[in-house]
Chains A and B, each alone.
Chain A
Amino acid sequence: MRRLIFLLAATLLVPARPQTPPPIVLSPIIPGDVNVTATTVSIDTFQPDFDVYSWNTFIALNWPPAANGNGDPNQTIGQNGDNDTVWEHYRDVSDIFLPGGARPTWNAPMPIPNACKVLNKGNLEVVTQIGKNLLTPAVVSAMSQPFNTGPIIDQNGVYTRFQILVNKTMFDYILANSLYSKAGQKAFTPPVNFTSGSIDNNGKTLVEGAIMVKSAWKVIAAADKARFHSQDVLVYSPASKNPKYPAKCMMKTVGLVGLHVGHKTQSAPQWLWSTFEHVDNVPTDADVKSGKLNAQYNYYNPGCKTCKVNQIPPRPWNPTKVSAFHSQIVRMNQFNLPIYAASAAARNSDAQKLLLGVNPKSVWANYELISTMWPTDPKQPFGAPAPTFLANTTLETYIQGTVPNVSSNCIECHNNATMTVPVPSDFTYVLQRAQ
């Protein structure tokens, strides 16, 4: 395995030891894999290497893109405060798994829903999900969350929106194997095996593996733009039968509040899972208990003494209306070892310094890594992940516990993912959306 070979090599060679952990760098090159420079084998020494990988990934994915879609070497992330990003030019899954199983293309313009056509001015994005269930007219909901948890609603009664995109590598595999349609999936000979990313012995990217990104967006006021990465988008709610409401489309400014990045790599057949949140999202459980609260959060009202915490909004969920219920969300501690929080905090500090060094107004310094989940023993089906539980408060809001097989664990849950036929889909739920 890569990291053992590297350690062996490290002990044999005399030249200067690589930095442990390796540095977070301002680079548009997406890391092909984790670069483990730790010289002893333990979670305490390895976790920082993975968290560095996550930040380098975050920086590269959020780098302003060149015309070819890769990060533009002539620009730097955040140099003007905010910027368009590489990952926002990845393909949205709703434009891959098309009605009738039609063949998608990487670059075709996104179809604009009817309800949005009157509003659409130019190439606006469409951001649709209201919760973990994507309710598009023709497709049975795709995201298999356990027990249909629920949406997360901000302090203005507005539903948070989600978007799932995949990079060209992942898209190409889907296309080449006709996995974009039910018929194609039926005809496919297993196993599904997305391309694995890799690095050389110096940590330089050789191959960018399959990457999937899940983003969470909150409607923000123009005045708040300085604190968020934001876009002007078409916020679309497809018509729903039950609960019953018509399609609705609005043009809104939305700010990024949560970002998941899953990357299949050579060292991680169970993929590497990085998750980031906006720094203003929520207090931690410890903050609440000690009374150490900020004036304001994206998903928590410090002034409400009676609001029940981490409670799913009551049904019916109607994203076309302003909700009386506001989510009161707290980050629960899921970590059983101190290193996870400590490493994330240290990397966050380093990364934020780096980003602010580019521009003190960089919106990107308002994001923090929660942690990186990685398989400590890839030979097992679950890979014995570290940490044992990990949740993003905007994306796995209601399963922030520490109960095996139920509380949020990226790998445990994604291990159950299949195509529309019950064939394992290599840790992604996107293939279930095929029609």
Chain B
Amino acid sequence: MSKNVPQYDVVIVGAGVSGNLIAKELGLAGKKVLILEAGLEVPDSREEYMENFYLALAKTPEAPYPALAGRQGSQVNPVGVLPDPSTLPTPRATVLSLGQSPKTSYLVQQQPFAALHPQDPKPQNPPADDKGNVRGLQFSSTFERNGGGTSWHWLGTSLRELENDIRMQTKYQHAVDWPITYTELQELWALAEAEIGVAASTAQQEPLEVVGLQYPPGYQYPMQAIPMSMVDQAVSNGVAGLQVPGTLPDTPGGGDPTLYDVFVTPTPAGRNSEPYDDRRVCAGNTNCIPICPIQAKWDPTVTLGKALDTGNVTMSYQSVAYNVAVDGQGDTQNATRIDYYEWSRDASGAISKVSKSVTGKVYVLACHAIENAKLLLLSNNWKGIANISNQVGRNLMDHPLYLTWALAPQPIFGYRGPLATSGIESLRDGEFRKYRASFRMEIGNEGWNFSKGDPYTTTMDFIQGTNNSNVNPPPGGSGQPVRLGGLKLVQQLNNIFTRQFRIACMFDQTPLAENLVKLDLDEKTGKPNNVDGLGLPRPKVEYGLDPYTMEGFRMAAYVCTKVYEQMGATEFTTNGVGGTGDFTYQGKNYHYYGAGHVVGTHVMGPEQKSSVVDASQRSHDVQNLWIVGSGSFPTVCTANPTLTLLGLAFKSAKSILASLGS
């Protein structure tokens, strides 16, 4: 191999949403591309993944994908034995490992009180500091490391951001602006919507002009909208006329007493409402997360197929990048090589690895917000690269997710259709964003599956006479949990299940420099505290919430309660104490989940001193390095990130092509 001629035009790390799209665009333009994918190959069919799902004890987002929990449960290991990340070549964050020690959790982070003091009868939440911030919370979103990446299990929600989402600093003096215009994003969203195949109708989205959702005149989505579910219809009818203030009355500074209309709109979604792109129409398998059995929902393997069709894209699976070599100083830094481990495992599970290198003219890091940051920090002998701004790994954000659930007064038939088909988007923007985090409200079609692990919990309650669901005993009885069988069991369960529904609120959390991912190294010795199966240091996460975000929770709890009241529904939301995702704000306990929306670890911005990449996701510091994905988001905004991150990937591809002189 000639020392000076790069082996490829572009080397991409990560075969996920961004990586596959960029590979496709470059391949179509005749560029030679190598994708280094840490994990296993895309399987020839989804039989294996689907069987993993069917047999999983806990049907979490990661359940279908490799490196599984065991399939036998017990009191000691209720969800099966979980693998030790230090024995895995590509461990990743999983829902089942949340709150656990590094023996189980790939991400090294503060464990909750209950995990550290399991015998203590009075679990506590972490205290707030003198500014009201709560630190030491668990970052609860997870990801995959395999061909196709995390968006194997995205829900499909393809909402566009709002105009003010990307100019929070200018409009609301909070956080930062995005270095891109709404007009340009509209062009990028159109490209992303065509790539995915998004089903929606602009006419149905028109009421959201009040929150700054605008479409270019005459814009048409690729496919007609997905019909609303019975649950959507019930919520929509139930909230008619409901208004809520921007902030609650006791907000310091006066807040935003404006009344906002609460209404339901269908959600644009990356699932087929017509045969599209060789894929079938949605059959409402209600399983988008963790896996659509029939691929009616787009996933990145679709785009990967097209990338491979160009004949210009080569895959290297089981290839874990661990170093991006960079030459030069200051403004003239150049990436020259990527070092990676090619790993394999024998029948006994023993890992062997070979260190290899590859060169390209351009390098693209596309391996997820957390792994991108980790790779940047690992590079240059763990001193880090592309980090003049000192923002790599910082500003880690999610949409923390606040879940509420209720029983409708009449059957509304959840557990049917895609997991979510509508939401309340009408509260996503307003003056209140000066005072508290905004949120969107996702109406769930899956009953209490997410909320309470149903139908398992309630079914076992009525079979065994327990009350883990809080609906046993049914009202009007003896007051003691009942045990039922036969038709009585059927009727009681039918009565409950057909009325179950939930609303999830997802917050535009503040970017904080102290919310971060870094290498888990000993402060004094610099040696890793925890490694993975390849000997690489594991990521350490520090996370918490600020009062701005937590005030959003307070508002969301209020709104959900009002929605349920207006519907005549009975709310069943409970929040624990001392567990993963539990916190206290103004004397009330809340619980958040991760939405799986990991953003912020390599923010985009106009200036090198305060951001990692520019609007094309090109590194400010290393001129032939692009760092792509939702890690580039300077704020998490109010829409689910996949559509926007895919749109940005189109922009990145274009800028890479321009830099290659074509």
Binding site for B on A (CB under 8 A): 133, 140-150, 242-244, 310-312, 314-317, 398-399, 401, 403-407, 415-418, 420-422, 432
Are the CB atoms of B45 and A401 closer together than 8 Å?
yes
Assuming A316-B310, A420-B275, A421-B274, what are 7 further A-B pairs, CB within 8 angstroms?
A: A144-B281, A311-B44, A405-B285, A406-B45, A406-B50, A416-B283, A432-B275
User: Who on chain B is nearest to A418 by CB?
Assistant: B281
List residues of chain A with CB within 8 A of the CB of B294: 146, 405-406, 416
Are the CB atoms of B274 and A422 closer together than 8 Å?
yes
B306 at the interface (CB under 8 A from A): yes
- Which of B48, B278, B311 contacts A244, CB < 8 Å? B311
> Which of A140, A147, A150, A432 has the most B CB atoms < 10 Å from its CB?
A147
B485 at the interface (CB under 8 A from A): no
Are the CB atoms of A316 and B44 closer together than 8 Å?
no
B308 at the interface (CB under 8 A from A): yes
Distance A416 CA – B308 CA, assembled complex (angstroms): 28
The 8 lowest CB-CB distance pairs between A and B, nearest first, are A315-B308, A401-B47, A405-B293, A144-B280, A403-B47, A243-B309, A432-B275, A406-B50
List residues of chain B with CB within 8 A of the CB of A416: 280-281, 283, 294
Interface string of B264-275 (1 = CB under 8 A from A): 000000000111
List residues of chain B with CB within 8 A of the CB of A312: 44
- Which of B277, B281, B309 contacts A242, CB < 8 Å? B309
B536 at the interface (CB under 8 A from A): no
Interface string of B43-61 (1 = CB under 8 A from A): 0111110110010000000
- Which of B44, B275, B285, B301 contacts A310, CB < 8 Å? B44
Tell whether A148 pairs with B302 under 8 Å between CB atoms, given A244-B311, A405-B293, A405-B294: yes
Tell whether A133 pairs with B47 under 8 Å between CB atoms, given A147-B295, A316-B308, A416-B294: no
- Which of B45, B273, B283 contacts A399, CB < 8 Å? B45
What DSSP secondary structure best describes chain A's contact surface? loop
Interface residues on B, range: 20 to 34
B78 at the interface (CB under 8 A from A): no
B279 at the interface (CB under 8 A from A): yes
A to B CB contacts below 8 Å, 8 in the list: A146-B295, A148-B305, A314-B308, A315-B308, A404-B50, A405-B293, A417-B280, A432-B275
Interface string of B574-612 (1 = CB under 8 A from A): 000000000000000000000000000000000000000
List residues of chain B with CB within 8 A of the CB of A421: 274
Tell whether A144 pairs with B309 under 8 Å between CB atoms, given A401-B45, A406-B47: no
Minimal beta-carbon separation of A72 from chain B (angstroms) = 39
Minimal beta-carbon separation of A382 from chain B (angstroms) = 11
List residues of chain A with CB within 8 A of the CB of B293: 146, 405-406
B28 at the interface (CB under 8 A from A): yes
> Which of A148, A149, A243, A244 has the most B CB atoms < 10 Å from its CB?
A148
Minimal beta-carbon separation of B65 from chain A (angstroms) = 15
Are the CB atoms of B281 and A149 closer together than 8 Å?
no
How many contacting A-B pairs (Cβ < 8 A)?
Answer: 97
Minimal beta-carbon separation of A187 from chain B (angstroms) = 16
List residues of chain B with CB within 8 A of the CB of A418: 274-275, 281
Docked complex: B610-625 residues within 8 A CB-CB of A = none
List residues of chain A with CB within 8 A of the CB of B275: 140, 142, 144, 418, 420, 432
Are the CB atoms of B281 and A315 closer together than 8 Å?
no
What DSSP secondary structure best describes chain B's contact surface? loop
Minimal beta-carbon separation of B199 from chain A (angstroms) = 9
User: Who on chain B is nearest to A397 by CB?
Assistant: B44
Tell whether A398 pairs with B45 under 8 Å between CB atoms, given A242-B306, A315-B305, A405-B294: yes
List residues of chain A with CB within 8 A of the CB of B51: 401, 403
Interface string of B327-338 (1 = CB under 8 A from A): 000000000000
Minimal beta-carbon separation of A101 from chain B (angstroms) = 16
Minimal beta-carbon separation of A74 from chain B (angstroms) = 44
- Which of B46, B281, B311 contacts A147, CB < 8 Å? B46
Are the CB atoms of B47 and A407 closer together than 8 Å?
yes
> Which of B44, B48, B274, B310 has the most A CB atoms < 10 Å from its CB?
B44
Are the CB atoms of A149 and B309 closer together than 8 Å?
no
Are the CB atoms of A404 and B54 closer together than 8 Å?
yes
- Which of A143, A316, A417 contacts B278, CB < 8 Å? A143
> Which of A140, A416, A432 has the most B CB atoms < 10 Å from its CB?
A416
Are the CB atoms of B44 and A242 closer together than 8 Å?
no
Minimal beta-carbon separation of B595 from chain A (angstroms) = 26
List residues of chain B with CB within 8 A of the CB of A142: 275
User: Who on chain A is nearest to B308 by CB?
Assistant: A315
List residues of chain B with CB within 8 A of the CB of A407: 45, 47
User: Who on chain A is nearest to B305 by CB?
Assistant: A148
List residues of chain B with CB within 8 A of the CB of A415: 283
List residues of chain A with CB within 8 A of the CB of B224: 422
Tell whether A147 pairs with B45 under 8 Å between CB atoms, given A141-B278, A420-B274, A422-B274: yes
User: Who on chain A is nearest to B27 by CB?
Assistant: A242
Distance A314 CA – B309 CA, assembled complex (angstroms): 9
Minimal beta-carbon separation of A420 from chain B (angstroms) = 6
Distance A160 CA – B50 CA, assembled complex (angstroms): 28
Minimal beta-carbon separation of A67 from chain B (angstroms) = 38
Interface string of B298-322 (1 = CB under 8 A from A): 0001100110111100000000000
Minimal beta-carbon separation of B66 from chain A (angstroms) = 16
Are the CB atoms of B278 and A133 closer together than 8 Å?
yes
Distance A432 CA – B281 CA, assembled complex (angstroms): 11
Distance A141 CA – B280 CA, assembled complex (angstroms): 11
Are the CB atoms of A399 and B47 closer together than 8 Å?
yes
Distance A406 CA – B311 CA, assembled complex (angstroms): 28
List residues of chain B with CB within 8 A of the CB of A144: 275, 278-281
Minimal beta-carbon separation of A194 from chain B (angstroms) = 19
Distance A417 CA – B274 CA, assembled complex (angstroms): 10
Distance A159 CA – B294 CA, assembled complex (angstroms): 25
Are the CB atoms of B44 and A149 closer together than 8 Å?
yes
Distance A415 CA – B273 CA, assembled complex (angstroms): 15
List residues of chain A with CB within 8 A of the CB of B285: 405
Minimal beta-carbon separation of B15 from chain A (angstroms) = 13
List residues of chain A with CB within 8 A of the CB of B281: 144, 416, 418, 422
Distance A407 CA – B48 CA, assembled complex (angstroms): 10
Distance A415 CA – B284 CA, assembled complex (angstroms): 13
Distance A418 CA – B302 CA, assembled complex (angstroms): 21
Minimal beta-carbon separation of A58 from chain B (angstroms) = 28
User: Who on chain A is nearest to B42 by CB?
Assistant: A147
User: Who on chain A is nearest to B43 by CB?
Assistant: A147
> Which of B50, B285, B309 has the most A CB atoms < 10 Å from its CB?
B309
Tell whether A316 pairs with B45 under 8 Å between CB atoms, given A146-B295, A406-B50, A418-B274: no
Are the CB atoms of A422 and B44 closer together than 8 Å?
no
Interface string of B124-161 (1 = CB under 8 A from A): 00000000000000000000000000000000000000
Distance A311 CA – B42 CA, assembled complex (angstroms): 12
List residues of chain B with CB within 8 A of the CB of A406: 45-47, 50, 293-294
User: Who on chain B is nearest to A311 by CB?
Assistant: B44
Docked complex: B22-52 residues within 8 A CB-CB of A = 28, 44-48, 50-51
- Which of A141, A143, A146, A422 contacts B46, CB < 8 Å? A146
List residues of chain B with CB within 8 A of the CB of A422: 224, 273-274, 281
Distance A310 CA – B48 CA, assembled complex (angstroms): 14
Docked complex: B147-203 residues within 8 A CB-CB of A = none
Distance A189 CA – B28 CA, assembled complex (angstroms): 42
Distance A310 CA – B44 CA, assembled complex (angstroms): 9
Distance A384 CA – B279 CA, assembled complex (angstroms): 24
Distance A314 CA – B48 CA, assembled complex (angstroms): 19
User: Who on chain B is nearest to A145 by CB?
Assistant: B278
Distance A140 CA – B277 CA, assembled complex (angstroms): 7
Distance A270 CA – B276 CA, assembled complex (angstroms): 24
Distance A416 CA – B54 CA, assembled complex (angstroms): 20
Distance A228 CA – B47 CA, assembled complex (angstroms): 33
Distance A354 CA – B308 CA, assembled complex (angstroms): 49
Are the CB atoms of B309 and A398 closer together than 8 Å?
no
Distance A407 CA – B293 CA, assembled complex (angstroms): 10
User: Who on chain A is nearest to B287 by CB?
Assistant: A405
Minimal beta-carbon separation of A190 from chain B (angstroms) = 14
- Which of A314, A316, A405, A420 contacts B50, CB < 8 Å? A405
